[in-house]
Amino acid sequence: MRGNFGWALASVVSLGISGLASAADLPVYKKAPAPVVEIYNWTGFYIGAEGGGDFGRTQVIHGPNDPRVGFPNIPETNPFNTTAGLAGVTAGYNYQINQVVLGIEGDFSGVWGKTSSFDVAPFNSAFSQQVEQRWLATVRGRVGFLVVPNLLIYGTAGYAASEVRQTVFGPIGSTVVPIAENQTMTGWTAGAGAEWKFFGNWSAKAEYLFVDLGQKSFFNPAPNLIFVNDQQVKLRNDIVRVGINYQFGGPIMAKY
């Protein structure tokens, strides 16, 4: 009887040791790491470059200060289109509040392109008016919303200024023209765009701006004793452009 009991006890101990050894050989399963969530911080200063197309509409209006014609404030030309390319630099600052991004942005662009139109009755149709923008600058506020952490949709509005050159051409042999004058025209701008952070602190944007530069008087006072005139240039622009920005500070952070 004692022999049987001893044999049974030995068997139980042996099975227990074998079980422990088998358990030691089982693979150890570790908890899977949490997925990495990228948090894009839009707060900070940035600089960039931009370029695109400037598609405008202009008209020359006869002003009230030319004594030769008794009908002031009538069109000297029909409205005509202006088309130009532009490229320049931009700088700004963003401040992020949850999914809302507030900011201010300024830009300065060179503009290349000019267009002209002949005078209409009662003016001499042998004469023409050429309008050319030399540069364009804006200072605007921006209000945006993050659709996803790295994609910002925004609206923008503010101040605009442009150097505009008007040139009057006449028939061959004219002693009065061509003659030109540069003026700085100012007004307002508004538009919308989207900006996408695609690599670290680098982002790409596309935007549309409407620019209203109002109406400005040229050749008043007259540039010489022969050329007596007062011409009002009206100018509006539709601008479509793309750009690339680099933000200082506010790097991408990884949340686990």
* Rounded mean pLDDT, 234-244: 97
Which residues, other chains included, contact 254 with Cβ-Cβ below 8 Å and sequence gap of 6+? 36, 37, 38, 39
pLDDT recorded at residue 6: 46
pLDDT at 8 over 80: no
- Highest mean predicted confidence (pLDDT) among 4-13, 16-25, 153-162, 178-187: 153-162
pLDDT > 60? residue 220: yes
Q: Where do the domains of the chain lie, and which CATH numbers do they carry?
A: 33-255 (2.40.160.20)
3-state secondary structure the chain: CHHHHHHHHHHHHHHHHHHHHHHHHCCCCCCCCCCCEEECCCCEEEEEEEEEEEEEEEEEEECCCCCCCCCCCEECCCCEEEEEEEEEEEEEEEEEECCEEEEEEEEEEEEECEEEEECCCCCCCCCEEEEEEEEEEEEEEEEEEEEECCEEEEEEEEEEEEEEEEEEECCCCCCCCCEEEEEEEEEEEEEEEEEEEEECCEEEEEEEEEEEEEEEEECCCCCCCCCCCCEEEEEEEEEEEEEEEEEECCCCEEEC
Query: What average pLDDT does range 12-41 have in this prediction?
Result: 52
d(CA 37, CA 128): 62
Query: Using 50, 70 and 90 to split pLDDT, how confident is the model at 35?
Result: low
Q: Would you say residue 20 has pLDDT above 50?
A: no
Q: Look at residue 68 and tell me whether its pLDDT is greater than 90.
A: no
Average pLDDT for 214-232 = 80
